[in-house]
């Protein structure tokens, strides 16, 4: 078995003033090239876990490791390498994109910060093509694009520095159902093409089923079930997982994963 690229040990998060912890003793190993879905109802701790895996927040207890070492902090070489290697795609494409920057500027920003030696314009053109957007979109502003196009821009930006891991928090929840399927298809194709490790956070079982070969089910800050997505869907063990599955009448985005 390959060593995990990202892992969490006994991870805990207790927000100041909160009555109960958002995360308790979470252990998780994400193997390189794996496609993991984190599923659970609102408030179960999914986004908190994602932010801790991204190093955007410090845990109250436990730790996150990247390639077997604690996530590097500060401005040194290893911290820059972590920021390049692990990228995020957020839920709301409008809020996650700066309204006054052109699309080209938005996509190029991580390249400028982390790969200044690359030709920015060429990279932007490559990325727009990779996410099936026309080249002239580079000169436009985010508000001139549709929701689906904006989410494609967010994906292009995340891929701009050739990351190894992409953590997507509700990547298609803000989109119309028909556009959702297209963006999911794009994410699937890019993940396979770039050999990415993907972590998808969603409250929607259909989206996890469409993108992830492996799923972790969260309830009240804990992972209550973790295994192959197909096995979890076909033969759920935990009562909460059964409840989640029963609440979804159909799973619309089923991919071709075994």
Ligand X SMILES: Nc1ncnc2c1ncn2[C@@H]1O[C@H](COP(=O)(O)OP(=O)(O)OP(=O)(O)O)[C@@H](O)[C@H]1O
> Does 40 engage in binding with ligand X (CB under 6 A)?
yes
- The one among 1, 2, 42, 116 contacting ligand X by CB under 6 A: 42
Cβ–Cβ under 8 Å, residues 184 and 229 = no
Interface residue with ligand X, options 28, 35, 39, 44 (CB under 6 A):
44
Residue with Cβ nearer ligand X (85 or 89): 89
What is the nearest approach in angstroms of ligand X to the Cβ of residue 40?
Answer: 5
The answer to the question of residue 64 lying near ligand X (CB under 6 A) is no
For 209, residues 6+ apart whose C-beta sits below 8 A from its C-beta are 37, 229, 233, 251, 253, 254, 255
How long is the chain? 258
249 DSSP 8-state letter? S
Residue 220: closest CA among 18, 9, 58: 18
| In the complex, minimum distance from the CB of residue 108 to ligand X, in angstroms, rounded to a whole number | 29
On whether the CB atoms of residues 93 and 150 are closer than 8 A, the answer is yes
CB of 46 to ligand X, least distance (A): 4
Identify the residue among 8, 24, 28, 48 touching ligand X (CB under 6 A): 48
The residue behind tokens 């050739």 is 162
Shortest distance (Å) from residue 190 CB to ligand X: 24
Among 4, 45, 93, 142, contact with ligand X (rule: CB under 6 A)? 45
Asked if residue 219 binds ligand X (CB under 6 A), the reply is no
Half-sphere exposure of residue 192, counting CA atoms within 13 Å on the CB side? 11
Give residues 172-211 in contact with ligand X (rule: CB under 6 A): 203
All residues at 6 or more sequence positions from 99 whose CB lies less than 8 Å from its CB, including other chains? 141, 142, 143
* Residues of span 9-28 touching ligand X by CB under 6 A: 15, 18, 22
**What's the token pair of residue 67?**
């390639």
Residues contributing to the site for ligand X (CB under 6 A): 15, 18, 22, 40, 42-48, 203
């Amino acid at each position: 078995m390959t060593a995990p690229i990202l892992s969490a040990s006994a991870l805990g998060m207790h927000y100041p003033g909160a009555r109960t912890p958002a995360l308790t003793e979470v252990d998780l190993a994400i193997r390189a090239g794996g496609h993991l879905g984190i599923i659970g109802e609102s408030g179960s701790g999914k986004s908190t876990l994602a932010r801790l895996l991204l190093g955007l927040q410090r845990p109250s207890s436990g730790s996150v490791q990247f390639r077997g070492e604690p996530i590097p902090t500060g401005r040194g070489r290893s911290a820059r390498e972590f920021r390049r290697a692990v990228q995020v795609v957020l839920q709301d494409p409008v809020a996650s994109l700066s309204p006054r920057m052109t699309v080209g500027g938005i996509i190029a920003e991580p390249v400028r910060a982390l790969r200044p030696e690359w030709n920015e314009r060429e990279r932007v053109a490559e990325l727009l093509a990779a996410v099936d957007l026309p080249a002239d979109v580079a000169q436009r502003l985010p508000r001139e694009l549709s929701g689906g196009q904006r989410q494609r821009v967010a994906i292009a930006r995340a891929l701009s520095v050739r990351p190894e891991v992409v953590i997507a928090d509700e990547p298609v929840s803000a989109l119309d159902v028909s556009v959702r399927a297209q963006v999911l298809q794009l994410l699937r194709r890019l993940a396979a093409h770039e050999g990415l490790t993907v972590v998808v956070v969603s409250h929607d079982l259909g989206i996890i089923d469409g993108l992830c070969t492996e799923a972790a089910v969260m309830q009240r800050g804990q992972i209550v079930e973790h295994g192959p997505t197909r096995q979890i869907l076909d033969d759920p063990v935990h009562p909460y997982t059964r409840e989640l599955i029963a609440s979804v009448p159909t799973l619309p985005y089923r991919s071709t994963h075994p």
